[in-house]
A and B are shown apart, each in its own frame.
Chain A
Amino acid sequence: MKRLCLTVIGLYLMLLHAFSQSAPADTASFKPRKLKLDEINFVSSYYTQNGDHSAIQGGIGSEKVTDLANGIELKFIAYDPLRRKNTLTAGIGLDHHTAASQAWVSKTGASRTGGTRIYPSLQWERENEQKGTRFGLGASYSSEYNYHSIGLQTDLGLKTKHNGEFGLKLSAYFDQVKLIRPSEFNTTDTITNTSGGTTSYTTASGRTVTLSAGGTYVSDGETSIPSSPRNTYTASLSFNQIINTRLQGALLLDVVAQNGYLGLPFHRVYFKDGADSVENLPSTRFKLPVGLRLNYFLGDRVVLRSYYRFYTDDWGIRSHTASLEVPIKLTPFFSISPFYRYYTQTPSKYFAPYETHTESQTYYTSNYALAAFSSQFFGADIRLSPPDGIAHTHLATLELRYGHYTQSTDLVSDVISLNLTFK
């Protein structure tokens, strides 16, 4: 009996050896690879919006906006002598918008209604595939006529032995908001001190000047408009986990602290008595969003991409976001993905509609982004990604996406985006 058992075990081991994949000797010597262009991504979007709760007019008036955004991103990859993968990503984006409400920064509706934003970025990441670790550094810049932003970030990643990965990203944004105020607050451009002593005055641009007796200040145009800082610090923690051969998920937590000028200087507020002012918001804000993403491969052709986020902050907003996207793979390289997103939020304690605030309040705004509302966003995404390129060219992926957005505040918008990936 013992001999029989040993024979069966021996046969089993022989079979196992016969079907097992023996590791071939690594004869190919590893050669470091110099930095080489791996991928080019082009993303273009057209956004259009309409509504009647413009923050510039204190919660009334047209919110008509159009925005054309174009961005290009170049991804370079190199392997160093220690077999670490180095990825360098350089990108630049250019947006042009028109906004009907912007005309009303001037009381007469004569302000310019368009603007351009440019935003370059650079990111480097080193990944040690053997150890399952990664480390990255990044910098970004964004500039438009009334707003400048410098962003810095670093991120770390560590894979676990059980198909999981911890991630930590620290980022900081140092912004400057130009204090362009509604024109009715630009009382004069020339100030003369006739009071006989030293006196401080607020200029048309919001600058404070101190004039001695008989002194005169003359505004030197838009260049003299002062700016105010706004800083944002974020720690983003993530944990990705493969749960089984069809299901994987990610838990995401951001801790966000902001300080500085957190309103916008041209957002009006009309009080109950009809007087107007500029929104006034606290100089600090703490945000805590927690998200969960779960993706499930159903059968051979359908993927369920689900996402839920809970958000809370110290301005009184609490929100829930839930979304589901269902990519249907018509072929292994062509998919159509309908999606739906539902969002609901409570109001900020500083929000009230047009002519509702009282002047005795310390903080006030009529910006409807801080109101109570719910929104729905739905649409579809088409993705084509054949293994040897579209029509055998370097164009590896073509993705077209359309979404329609409605808010219970009557804001309606549409966005269409195109992503082309060249390899």
Chain B
Amino acid sequence: MYRLQISLTALLFAAGACTPVKEYQKNRLNDSEMSLSSRKVEKNEANFQSYREGSSGANGGKTGGGCGCN
């Protein structure tokens, strides 16, 4: 748990060290490959992983519903 707290604190410091980026400098950041969400084509992969593994969540997808009975 301490490791997690240290990582989160480090991340907050890193966020404070961000460089200002203007709209016209975002051509690379706006590239579809740079998207921070999962791709649509990954949807069913995320489904089977959440049913075959004991953990799920924190990936922007759904965290409940559905059976995964088989």
A219 in contact (CB, < 8 A): no
- Give the residues in chain B near A319, CB-CB below 8 Å: 53-55
Q: Does B6 contact A (CB under 8 A)?
A: no
How many residue-residue contacts, CB under 8 A, span A and B? 219
Smallest CB separation, A364 vs chain B (Å) = 15
Q: Of B28, B53, B57, which contacts A246 at CB under 8 A?
A: B28
Residue in B closest to A65 when the chains form the complex, CB atoms:
B70
Cα separation A254 to B57 with both chains bound (whole Å): 6
Majority SS of interface residues in chain A?
A: strand
A358 CB–B CB distance under 8 Å: no
The answer to whether B41 touches A245 (Cβ under 8 A) is no
Chain B residues closer than 8 Å to A243, beta-carbon distance? 14-15, 17-19
Find the B residue at minimum CB distance from A46: B44
Interface of B is mostly: loop
Chain A residues, Cβ within 8 Å of B14:
243
Interface residue? A183 (CB, 8 A): no
- Residues facing B in A406-423 (CB within 8 A) are 407, 411, 413, 415, 417-419, 421
Question: Is A146 within 8 A of B42, CB to CB?
Answer: no
Interface string of B18-46 (1 = CB under 8 A from A): 11110001101101111110011111110
Binary interface encoding of chain B residues 52-70 relative to chain A, with 1 for a CB under 8 A from any of its CBs, else 0: 1111111110111111011
Known contacts: A290-B58, A303-B31. The answer to whether A256 contacts B66 by CB under 8 A is no
Is the CB–CB distance between B29 and A242 below 8 Å? yes
Interface size on A, residues (CB 8 A): 101
Please give, as numbers and ranges, the residues of chain A lying within 8 Å of B44 by CB-CB distance: 43, 45, 47, 69, 415, 417
Pairwise interchain contact B36-A171, C-beta atoms closer than 8 A: no
**B contact residues, total (Cβ < 8 Å):** 48
Contact of A289 among B19, B39, B56, B65 (CB under 8 A): B56
Whether A345 and B55, one on each chain, are in contact in the complex, defined by CB atoms closer than 8 angstroms, is yes
Q: Does A343 contact B (CB under 8 A)?
A: yes
Interface centre among B19, B48, B54 (most CB of A within 10 A): B54
Report whether B39 and A399 are in contact in the complex, using a CB–CB cutoff of 8 Å.
yes
CB distance from B57 to the nearest CB of A (A): 4
Q: A102-B69, A309-B59, A311-B55 are in contact. List 9 more A-B contacts (CB 8 A).
A: A67-B48, A115-B70, A119-B66, A241-B18, A287-B55, A289-B57, A305-B33, A383-B33, A401-B42
A-B contact pairs, 23 of them (CB 8 A): A45-B44, A151-B62, A162-B20, A171-B62, A175-B64, A242-B26, A243-B17, A245-B21, A251-B11, A264-B67, A266-B69, A293-B36, A297-B31, A297-B34, A309-B55, A311-B57, A335-B33, A369-B51, A399-B40, A400-B41, A403-B45, A405-B52, A417-B43
Q: 6 smallest A-B Cβ distances: which pairs? A: A232-B64, A291-B58, A99-B70, A289-B58, A147-B67, A173-B64
